[in-house]
Structures are given as C-alpha cells and as structure tokens.
Amino acid sequence: MRSRCIWTPCKVLTPLSFKPSSFFTFSFSKQLLLPDKSIAAISSTRRGISSYPSLMASSPSLKDSVSTQNESTQKTQQPLQVAKRLEKFKTTIFTQMSSLAIKHGAINLGQGFPNFDGPEFVKEAAIQAIKDGKNQYARGYGVPDFSSAIAERFKKDTGLVVDPEKEITVTSGCTEAIAATMLGLINPGDEVILFAPFYDSYEATLSMAGAKIKCITLRPPDFAVPIDELKSAITQDTRAVLINTPHNPTGKMFSREELSTIASLCIENDVLVFTDEVYDKLAFEMDHISMASLPGMYERTVTLNSLGKTFSLTGWKIGWAIAPPHLTWGVRQAHSFLTFATSTPMQWAAAVALRAPESYYVELKRDYMAKKEILVEGLKAVGFKVFPSSGTYFVVVDHTPFGLENDIAFCEYLIKEVGVVAIPTSVFYLNPEDGKNLVRFTFCKDEGTLRAAVDRMKEKLKRK
C-alpha cells in the first residue's frame, strides 16, 4: 500500500542526500503523511485528522524550509522508502526543533538535553576505563560491575533485592530498553495500554512489535489517571500497560493511589507493566514510587531507566531494564539482536556514577528546583497558564492566551518571532487535537539561558 501524501514537497530528496534532521522532514510529520490504514484508524476518532493536516500544510514557513533544503539537491528523484510498520513515523519533533533552533538562533528550551556538562568524577572514570583497555565488546547483558551497581541502586531506592546476573539487562539508553521490552515481550496483535501524552518512542516501538495500542488521555490541569476509563480499557486481552513516572511531557508523578489501582487491575487481569522511570531522581513535589515496589507487582513489571537525565550525560546512552528472570529472558533475547552489547568503558564509568554518594542526588535536585523556579515564575509573568510539574525537567503551559491557532503554529511563531524553542505537545498524542493548546518547555539549561529565554518572551510575546 502506498502512502498518501497530503501535502507534497516540490522535490523529493534521494536517500543519499536525505538528512534525517533536515527541515524537509517537518513537512512529513505524523499528521501529514499517513498510510491509508492509519488514516482509517485515526479518522475513526473524528478529530485530529481532518483539522491537523490543513493546519500544518497551511504553514508557509514550513514549506519555505523545505524548498530551501531542496534547492541544493539536483540528484535523481526517488521516493523515500520505509517499511509499513514505520511509515507513519517521521523525524522526531526533538530533532526538528533543535535544527530550527540553530537556524533561527533561538534559545532551545525544546529538546531535553542539559546545556551543562556531566560530573567530573564520572567523566574521569570513563577516561580511565578507556586507558585501562576496557574497550572490547562487553558481556551482552552488561558489564558485571555495572549490573551490580544497578542492583545496589535499585535496592536503595525501592528496597527490592534483584539478582544482577538474571534480572538486569544493560541497553543503549532507555530507548533501547523500551524497544527490547516491546520486541521481546509483545506479540503481534497483543493489546497494550498507553497514557497520552506519551514519549514518542513508545508508539513507534509498539508499532514495530505489531501491538494494538489502546490509549487513555491524561487531561490538564492535573493529568490524573481517569480510573473508570482505565477500568473499562483493561481486559483479558490486554498484555501490558505502559506508564512513565515522573512523566514526560507533563511533569506529573503517578500517586500511590493511582499506581495501586493500576496494580490491582493488572493483577486481576494478568497484565504486565512496563514502567519508564528515567526521571526518578528529578522528583520535586513528592517521593518517586517505583511500580515494581508495590505488593505483587515485581513479578509482572519491567522497570526501565537510564543514566542520561540523572547525570546530565544524555549522549552516553547507557540504560537498563530490571525484571524478574522470566521477563528478562524476552528482553535479553531482543537486546541480543538489536545491539548485543553496550559501550564497555561507559558502563564502567556508569557503575561509578550510580555509586555516587547521596549528596550528589540531593544537590542535583536542589539545582533543578532553582531552575524550575526561574522558568515557572518567568512563564507565569509572561502570561502563560502554567500547569503544575512535580517531577522531570519539563513544564507544560497553555499557549492560548497568545492567540495562535494551535501548538505547532505557536511554536513556529515562538522560534521565528521571539527566538525561543518549545515543543508542541500534539506530537505526544495519538489524536494530535488533544495537545493543540499545550506546549512543553524544559528547564535543563543553565540559569542564564533560562532567564534570557524568559526575557525574550516578556519582551516579544503579547497576549491577544
């Protein structure tokens, strides 16, 4: 089946000249280029599909970006090729926005990577590991010392004792842990429940696994789990529920009550839980609770995490999955054939990182709380309605006081006219309309950058 292109760029780049981060891809976002089947599926909601393509296609600046990119390309035109299971997914919004930030000299409060470096003691450990010759393939499921460090950390955080040899799989970032979990434990046709808004790799990896997605929307102001909806969504056909706490993009943290309700529904219906806890150390307003620590849950839970956010080393891509042996088996089978093993010296350094004294984590939290205060108070002063963020380094706001038609139009205006990058949240929903009033800012930047972004917005953004 051929893709249906709702808005066609003037030229198509050859695979060789195609740059994944180019502006070209902006035009082919999830809302614009959809396989016929996806159109059928999404239009059944009777919302997003009819309005979003026209909104995006009518954005002249996005088309401009495309022509600029294409003019330099004189090679033979070839249709871009991609397997059906991935044809609705395009270059991620984070790459697109970071590229636009560079093009327009905008301050990037979009993609969640710190603009400051990770700790010296961890970088030194990596250098030392390289010098010590720890440079060949690691054991597939993890350098033993790092697996032990993960188990030690997990015990401190949750009280759970796990066997590093049988229950931990080291992966290339949490992104690979997510993919290995889906591909290793989900069969084609299995039903998986997601909470929207959700981190973009969930939908793509579930699609690669052939899963059937059921989506429950968390709504502002508090993004609480709609328990009744969840109760009617979970059935004997459900294979897994995927949660993310603290939650990207909203900063919501799942309460003990919410987690307990999800847990008892999963136990009742024999359902697995995949829990993405990459922001567990950025929990500001309440203590982070790991789903695996709830009674009866460890046996059915895969806990996903990584080093990047906690140690400001997002480029290292060191992650892991913790699960009982019977679930680790599936995760490891997929991991074996995805990457087989993860960077050896970085694992040695990651072991040093995870054994950091508690004071490191206390200071990290203190630093981030100061940054959050600058951004949240600044955004309120600019005139946004700011939704409470209890964890992560993100905050979501309602942009509608500024009169732009949707989140994409607002973010485009913000980049070009104000010089600040935010992320449109519609990309985090199955139905983009659900996110059209919301945009996400990150505060994982130094204080000067945060203040400069707020100043730009105070000066140039006017309420309508």
Ligand X SMILES: Cc1ncc(COP(=O)(O)O)c(C=O)c1O
Side-chain half-sphere CA neighbours of 402 within 13 A: 28
If 0-12 CB within 10 Å is exposed, 13-18 middle and 19+ buried, where does residue 167 land?
A: buried
Pick the piece of the chain touching ligand X (CB under 6 A) from 124-132, 153-161, 189-197, 314-322: 314-322
CA distance 29 to 424: 12
Pick the piece of the chain touching ligand X (CB under 6 A) from 139-147, 168-176, 235-243, 356-364: 168-176
Closer residue to ligand X in complex, CB, 70/305: 305
Q: Do residues 96 and 25 make contact, with C-beta atoms less than 8 angstroms apart? A: yes
Q: Do residues 398 and 15 make contact, with C-beta atoms less than 8 angstroms apart? A: no
Phi, psi torsion values for 381, nearest 5 degrees: -65, -30
Q: What is the DSSP string of 218-236?
A: -BTTTTB--HHHHHHH--T
CA distance 434 to 195: 12
Instruction: Report, in Å, the least distance between residue 249 CB and ligand X.
Output: 8
List the one residue from 173, 184, 432, 435 that touches ligand X (CB under 6 A). Answer: 173
List the one residue from 9, 48, 110, 112 that touches ligand X (CB under 6 A). Answer: 112
**Does residue 251 touch ligand X according to CB under 6 A?**
no
The candidate with the shortest Cα–Cα distance to 97, out of 115, 112, 110, is 110
Whether residue 246 has a cis bond before it, omega within 30° of 0? yes
Question: Position 82: which residue type?
Answer: V
The candidate with the shortest Cα–Cα distance to 266, out of 242, 237, 295, 241, is 241
Instruction: Report, in Å, the least distance between residue 421 CB and ligand X.
Output: 15
Instruction: Report, in Å, the least distance between residue 322 CB and ligand X.
Output: 14
List the one residue from 12, 42, 106, 174 that touches ligand X (CB under 6 A). Answer: 174
List the one residue from 142, 184, 308, 391 that touches ligand X (CB under 6 A). Answer: 308
Instruction: Report, in Å, the least distance between residue 112 CB and ligand X.
Output: 5
**Does residue 246 touch ligand X according to CB under 6 A?**
no
- Quickly count: other Cβ atoms within 10 Å of residue 424's Cβ: 26
Which residue, judged by CB position, is nearest to ligand X in the bound state? Answer: 173
**Does residue 319 touch ligand X according to CB under 6 A?**
yes
Kindly determine how many residues on this chain lie close enough to bind ligand X according to the rule CB under 6 A: 14
* x-marked contacts with ligand X along 129-158 as a string, rule CB under 6 A: ------------------------------
Question: Position 35: which residue type?
Answer: P
**Does residue 244 touch ligand X according to CB under 6 A?**
yes
Closer residue to ligand X in complex, CB, 32/395: 395
Is residue 369 within a helix (H) or strand (E), and if so which, with residue range?
helix 358-382
List the one residue from 181, 301, 314, 389 that touches ligand X (CB under 6 A). Answer: 314
**Does residue 33 touch ligand X according to CB under 6 A?**
no
**Helices and strands in the chain, H and E counts:** 16, 15
The residue assigned the tokens 């046996």 is: 299
**Does residue 245 touch ligand X according to CB under 6 A?**
no
Instruction: Report, in Å, the least distance between residue 222 CB and ligand X.
Output: 19
Instruction: Report, in Å, the least distance between residue 442 CB and ligand X.
Output: 10
List the one residue from 52, 154, 199, 311 that touches ligand X (CB under 6 A). Answer: 199
In a 3-state reduction of DSSP, which class is residue 449? helix
The site for ligand X (CB under 6 A) is made up of 112, 173-175, 199, 244, 248, 276, 278, 306, 308, 314, 317, 319
